[in-house]
Amino acid sequence: MADDTRPQVYLSTPPAFELSTFPARLAEVLDAFDVACVRLSMATSDESTLSRAGDTLRPICHEADVALVIETHVGLVERLGLDGVHLLDGARTMRAVRKTLGADAIIGAYCGASRHDGITAAEIGADYVSFGPAGDTALGDGTKADHDLFAWWSEMIEVPVVAEGALTPEVIRALAPVTDFFGIGEEIWREDDAAQALGQLIEAMS
């Protein structure tokens, strides 16, 4: 990255997408900007759909030297040649997943707004912890991962932290000094020009 002090970009796929069009959109974004990691984050639990998506996106990510992890589905990581998994249950399955996937796999943990869950996940082997939603949203129960949580984490904990959920340029600008990554997904994919939308969010990180 041109600016080593700026947080890195961690992209998530849309919850549903067409394999006929989305891979080209992803490739365009990866070609335009430095991205640290991509998360295959689909709402479906259909194994064949997830497998086709993983097999299609893996070479695109790896050609761009970007890691590809999958949300939740630990059993598909090795089968699809992915780089790791993003867990949605905080620290609850961290030990077992680390034992299954080994030391080299990327394992991240989403911990909502819970400092306790984040600390536990970090202590037992998470490569990163994500908190969210970082912005205001009517989705979920309304609990927000606020600035103080990220500020405390960045000062006290060495494990990298990801801010995600309901991100806006204003939220990004406020959190940029206290987070390592921004988890960006629907914020750009809902726009016609995803690369341009990401560029605007990256500007807010500087």
Within 10 angstroms of residue 186's Cβ, the number of other Cβ atoms is 15
Domain-embedded: residue 21: yes
41-82 pLDDT tens trace: 999 999 999 999 999 999 999 999 999 999 999 999 999 999
**What is the phi-psi region of residue 189: left when phi exceeds 0, alpha when psi lies from -120 to 50, beta otherwise?**
alpha
Q: 44 CB contacts (<8 Å, ≥6 apart)?
A: 16, 50
Domain count within the chain: 1
Q: In Å, how far are 23, 149, 185, 200 from 191, measured between CA atoms? A: 15, 30, 11, 12
pLDDT at 139: 87
Domain-embedded: residue 1: no
Tens-binned pLDDT, residue by residue, of the chain (206 aa): 235 689 999 999 999 999 999 999 999 999 999 999 999 999 999 999 999 999 999 999 999 999 999 999 999 999 999 999 999 999 999 999 999 999 999 999 999 999 999 999 999 999 999 999 999 999 888 899 999 999 999 999 999 999 999 999 999 999 999 999 999 999 999 999 999 999 999 999 99
pLDDT at 4: 63
Domain-embedded: residue 122: yes
pLDDT at 140: 87
Task: State the maximum Cα–Cα separation within the chain, in Å, rounded to a whole number.
Answer: 45
Q: Are 19 and 52 in contact (CB under 8 A)?
A: yes
Domain-embedded: residue 85: yes
Cα 18 versus chain centre, distance? 20
Domain-embedded: residue 3: no
Pairing of β 8-12 and β 128-131: unpaired
Q: Report phi then psi at 120, rounded to 5.
A: -60, -45
pLDDT at 74: 98
Domain-embedded: residue 102: yes
- Report the alpha-carbon distance of residue 142 to residue 166 in Å, rounded: 11
Range of the domain at 162: 8-205
Say what the pTM is: 0.96
The CATH number covering residue 89 comes to: 3.20.20.70
pLDDT at 142: 84
- Report the alpha-carbon distance of residue 46 to residue 158 in Å, rounded: 36
